[in-house]
Amino acid sequence: METFHLAKSVPKPHPQSPPAATFPRRALTAWFRRAARVLPWRCTRDPYAILVSEIMLQQTQVATVIPFYERWLARFPDFSSLAAAEENDVLSLWQGLGYYSRARNLHRAAKTVVSTHGGAMPRDPAHIRALPGIGRYTAGAVASFAFDLPEPLVDANVARVLARLLDLHTPIDSTAGQAALWAEAISLAPKRGARIFNSALMELGALICTPRAPRCGECPIRKSCAASANGTAESLPRKKPRRTRAELAEHCAWTMHHRRILLEQQTGKRWRGLWKLPALPAAPHTTPLLTLEYPFTHHRVTLSVFAQRAPSPLHENLAWHALATLADLPLTAPHRRAIEKLCSCRQQEAG
């Protein structure tokens, strides 16, 4: 294989991968049949259940998703039941998974499938991708896993496998890097058996071609891997430098009355439909009852909670909620944590 010697300041071009016709698909799928984990979404061809799993697995680990997935299907077993649900119930069941826009998009997609496709997921990948919140990867995953169509897919695990297969030194989160990965995925997608092949690529990235200390000696496609041949596997894939996180301050009110707490429902894009402690325009000139930090996209937020009286009259987004009902209320994760800590402190003081 040709080796390129370039200055360190210039990204190294990726060499051509082995022809797709010579890629060891049989070795990969044979390994998958032996080593694959038993996961609930691999035991179904139901496109709805597969879509639910794919949406939940975005930015969330498998072990975390499994109980949520099972509870979700028990409550909303198909597109029709989800489409008919109230958004508050959808968000409440999603609590603990975070990134609530995923739940809203799934809800909107279900409504579209019911209204436009008679309650059945369309088979055409272009129609799947046209559903709300469905991108190129998710459309390919549903098309291949549910319908066994020869659609490529590139998730985090597959991206790592392909970057090492190509010895790709271009950042995989760049436009050029994404283009190279998708071009390789398209070239490798088999005309038959895409469901098993794509599952095998994903599982290889999860179990063998791991982010750190890849187990190259156990890899069924090692002979086709340029990074393994060049000794660069552990340094790949590359990503663009991370942004510096900006610091933000959030000031909120703690208002209790007869075991009820005053909360504010969000209407903006960030946490729309969720409840949180009411926002204050600025920090009061008192010591906060509680301060905690949490990350949000490229920010680190410091949440300070201050004891406050209820405003009179209450504006339309404010409402009293009994503490006993908070478990079923869709609360933002950091504010739920703040409420639980403050309630725990008050119980200890009372005791």
d(CA 65, CA 283): 37
Cα angle for residues 101, 106, 107 (degrees, 5° grid): 95
| 198: its two tokens | 């794509």
Is 316 designated active site?
no
Choice among 54, 184, 203, 250 that is catalytic: 54
Burial of 241 per CB tally in 10 Å (0-12, 13-18, 19+): exposed
Q: How many CA atoms lie within 13 A of 184 on its CB side?
A: 26
> How is 153-218 classified by DSSP, letter by letter?
---HHHHHHHHHHHT--S-TTSHHHHHHHHHHHHHH--SS-HHHHHHHHHHHHHHTS-SSS--GGG
Measured from the Cβ of residue 298, the count of other Cβ atoms closer than 10 Å reads: 10
User: Are 121 and 97 in contact, with CB atoms under 8 Å apart?
Assistant: no
SS3 assignment for 121-156: CCCCHHHHHCCCCCCHHHHHHHHHHHHCCCCCCCCH
Q: What is the DSSP letter of 306?
A: E
| 50: its two tokens | 């597969």
| 184: its two tokens | 């390789």
CA-based R_g, the chain, Å: 24
CB neighbour list of residue 321: distance below 8 Å, 6 or more residues apart? 260, 261, 262, 263, 275, 329
Catalytic residues: 54
